[in-house]
Amino acid sequence: MWPTRYVVAARQAESKDTVTLTLRPVENPIEPPRPGQFTMLYAYGVGEVPISVSGFARGQELVQTIRAIGAVTRALCAAAPGDMVGVRGPFGTQWQLSLAEGRDLLVVAGGIGLAPLRPALLAALAERARYRRVVLLVGGRSPDDLLFARELETWRRRGASVRVTVDRADADWKGGVGLVTRFIDGAVTDPARTAAFVCGPEIMMRICAHTLVSRGVAAEDILVSLERNMRCGAALCGHCQLGPLLLCRDGPVVNYADAAPLAAKQEL
Ligand SMILES: Cc1cc2nc3c(=O)[nH]c(=O)nc-3n(C[C@H](O)[C@H](O)[C@H](O)COP(=O)(O)OP(=O)(O)OC[C@H]3O[C@@H](n4cnc5c(N)ncnc54)[C@H](O)[C@@H]3O)c2cc1C
Ligand code: FES
């Protein structure tokens, strides 16, 4: 439960409110996180919040992408190289790439949801031959809000079919306009051989999962990432409870067969 000290080794602005930090341990590092897992990041003197791992760095470094929405995330986004942060974890479940092996992998991201999906996408592209197709659908509010925009072309070259759409376009925008959910139908070509990883606002995940199921993708083959208020991260405090699940332990990545009945009772 005691945070391990990491120093900010690099800071990359992704958009006007989102920053990617590369964190280097200054003492014994935490275990290497797996795609989909999160850590509790502590801005000293401000507070601690759950943040997903958004990439793999060299050696024992961590890569995490943070959107500034409140006191703690604002403090983390303001951290500069050389500043210290505390890290606990890694916690939670992971994107099961084995579900997609020999099949189509459909990755659907809305906004900051691309951050937790990025390690799974990178892992799939590193072993591209294991998957029939790798399709990435990305939705953002505007072109300026898109995360990892500089990497989209690299992902295409490495064998992903990438489609990007925004809610509000400007005159220079060459991609799609509209909700990412609209493109799901066309992205599924063989529902029985498709696994989908979906992360974004809850309403977006619900519409995506519903569309995928209606196209014939099995609910067990659809993974979503559920966020709830978290405190301990270690299945001790109950803050993250959703029905029978403690999402810091049984999530955040959950298959839609398990998530759907909970969504019927409350906002998923
Ligand atoms: C498993 C998990 C993984 C996460 N991964 C990331 C990540 O990779 N990058 C990232 O930027 N954020 C991520 N989050 C969300 C992040 O933890 C919250 O943004 C953070 O806790 C807000 O804390 P704060 O003190 O900055 O703001 P607060 O003062 O706590 O909140 C500011 C406002 O945002 C609302 N809010 C708080 N948390 C959320 C949330 N999860 N979703 C929507 N609204 C919220 C509050 O109700 C309030 O209105 C993740 C959350 C979970 C549970
Ligand atoms: S955050 Fe404490 S039980 Fe999950």
- Non-local (6+) Cβ contacts of 123 within 8 A are 35, 97
Distance CA 84, CA 76 (A): 10
Strand 194-199 versus strand 104-110 pairing type? parallel
Ligand 2 pocket test target in 230, 242, 250 with most atoms within 8 Å of CB? 230
Question: Which atom of ligand 2 has the smallest separation from the CA of 233?
Answer: 1
Look at residue 173 in the predicted model and tell me its pLDDT: 86
Provide the pLDDT for residue 169: 87
pTM attached to this predicted model: 0.95
**Protein residues with CB under 6 Å of any ligand 2 atom:** 230-233, 235-240, 246, 248
Residue owning the nearest CA to atom 42 of ligand 1: 227
Which of these, 175, 178, 17, 184, lies nearest to 106 by C-alpha position?
184
> What separation in Å is there between the alpha carbon of 229 and the centre of ligand 2?
8
Ligand 2 centroid – CA 203 distance (Å):
23
Give dist(CA 51, CA 224) in Å, integer.
16
Q: Which amino acid is at 216?
A: G
CA of 172 to the centre of ligand 2 (A): 45
Asked if residues 21 and 64 have their Cβ atoms less than 8 Å apart, the reply is: yes
pLDDT tens-place values along the chain, 268 residues long: 899 999 999 999 999 999 999 999 999 999 999 999 999 999 999 999 999 999 977 789 999 999 999 999 999 999 999 999 999 999 999 999 999 999 999 999 999 999 999 999 999 999 999 999 999 999 999 999 999 999 999 999 999 999 999 998 888 888 888 888 889 989 999 999 999 999 999 999 999 999 999 999 999 999 999 988 899 999 999 999 999 999 999 999 999 999 988 866 555 4
- 8 Å CB contact between 239 and 230: yes
The helices-and-strands tally (H runs, E runs) of the chain is 7, 15
* Single-letter residue type at 226: L
pLDDT of residue 268: 47
Q: Amino acid identity of 235?
A: A
Using DSSP, state whether 249 is helix, strand or coil: helix
Alpha-carbon distance of 262 to 107, in angstroms, equals: 22
**Is there a cis peptide before residue 32, judged by omega within 30 degrees of 0?**
no
CB neighbours (10 Å) of residue 126? 10
As for ligand 1, residues whose beta carbon falls within 6 Å of it are 38, 47, 49-52, 65-67, 69-73, 112, 115-116, 227-228, 230, 252
> Which among 208, 218, 199, 211 is positioned nearest to 93, based on CA atoms?
199
252 prior amide bond cis, ω within 30: yes
CA of 218 to the centre of ligand 2 (A): 29
